Amino acid sequence: MINFEYTRAGTIKAASEARQKDSSAQFIAGGTNLVDLMKKGIIAPERLIDINGLPLKEIKSDPKGISIGALVPNSVAAENEAVKKQFPLLSMALNAGASAQLRNMATVGGNIMQRTRCSYFYDINLPCNKRKPGSGCAAIGGYNRMHALFGASDQCIAVHPSDMCVALAALDATIHSTNTKGEKKIPFADFHRLPGNTPELDNNLQPGELINHVFIPANSYNKSYYLKIRDRLSYAFALVSVAVALEIREGKIIKAALAMGGVAHKPWRLTAAEQLLIGKSPTTDLFDSVAQLAMQGATTYEHNAYKVKLGKAAIMEALTKATR
């Protein structure tokens, strides 16, 4: 790890201006991902801007929805009474992520911003277009058991690691951010990027832009479930995950939201599969049809073809558990 300067931001505006003036600087809050990246030599910021003193730690709930500050620890968000009551899917997803110790340190904003856990990205001795554009993608011809089924490119097949973000994608969240020109809103579906020809860009934040809070609109879902399939129960990233939120009235599915993790460079919303559920009674046959549709178009590599079958089974299980 190289030497770096350390400063503490006193205001959101000052933090944004400092980051925009210094392209090598990074914001730091919990540091659960950033410090790992620095230790591994993947990034080497010349300056860290500590944002822990900024007023971004509130959770506010009203009839329109809930606002969760970017500096709220994952553990606090997961156990907040309003979150558990109104958005249980988010609470389940947060509690499925990492370990209790990491959830105590990691922040909501940092969770959204975390980078892929692709082993080739973390190995500085191997080519990675995300880490060093133009160097190649070692995962494509390497051991790609954990890698993407959807939305990948010949530049990158890494997946997004967050559990929380899968739930936020399903719940139609909005990210509120600040830059030197003022505040703006970004629909969660538009925040993270697919790799395309610029896999080094994980999201659509501009230089100096800082996440203030996440807003989740109120909804009428009365059934939800978050399923995470992983190699071990404790502290492992998803091979496949599924977020389900349903509104069921008089035995019929009125509204549905489905998203997957572990299958793409961003949380993967299953919009066509959602539509197939609408107006129907929840049955095993319906869930099988939804799972088949959801996994259409999957592109597999040498070691991750199992994810197609696993994905179908996970969707069926998540829907079944949500509707019990």
% of the chain exceeding 90 in pLDDT: 94
For position 234, what pLDDT does the model report?
78
pLDDT tens for each residue of 92-107: 999 999 999 999 999 9
% of the chain exceeding 70 in pLDDT: 100
Q: DSSP letter at 159?
A: -
Section 277-282 average pLDDT: 98
For position 1, what pLDDT does the model report?
64
Residues sharing a CB contact under 8 Å with residue 209, sequence separation 6 or more, in sequence order: 16, 177, 178, 179
pLDDT tens for each residue of 222-255: 999 999 999 998 789 999 999 999 999 999 999 9
CATH assignment, 5-52: 3.30.43.10
Section 280-292 average pLDDT: 98
Section 207-227 average pLDDT: 97
Which helix (H) or strand (E) covers residue 94, if one does?
A: helix 88-96
CB-CB contact of 78 with 97 (8 Å): no
CB-CB contact of 277 with 286 (8 Å): yes
For position 207, what pLDDT does the model report?
87
For position 73, what pLDDT does the model report?
98
CATH assignment, 223-322: 3.30.390.50
- Domain ranges across the chain: 5-52, 223-322
pLDDT tens for each residue of 103-151: 999 999 999 999 999 999 999 999 999 999 999 999 999 999 999 999 9
Residues sharing a CB contact under 8 Å with residue 216, sequence separation 6 or more, in sequence order: 65, 66, 68, 87, 90, 168, 171, 172, 173, 174
88 pLDDT higher than 70: yes
CB-CB contact of 265 with 192 (8 Å): yes
| Mean per-residue pLDDT of the chain | 97
For position 143, what pLDDT does the model report?
98
pLDDT tens for each residue of 60-83: 999 999 999 999 999 999 999 999
pLDDT tens for each residue of 151-178: 999 999 999 999 999 999 999 999 999 9
SS3 98: coil
Section 15-41 average pLDDT: 94
For position 68, what pLDDT does the model report?
98
pTM higher than 0.95? yes
Distance, in Å, from the CA atom of 288 to the CA atom of 321, rounded to the nearest integer, reads 14
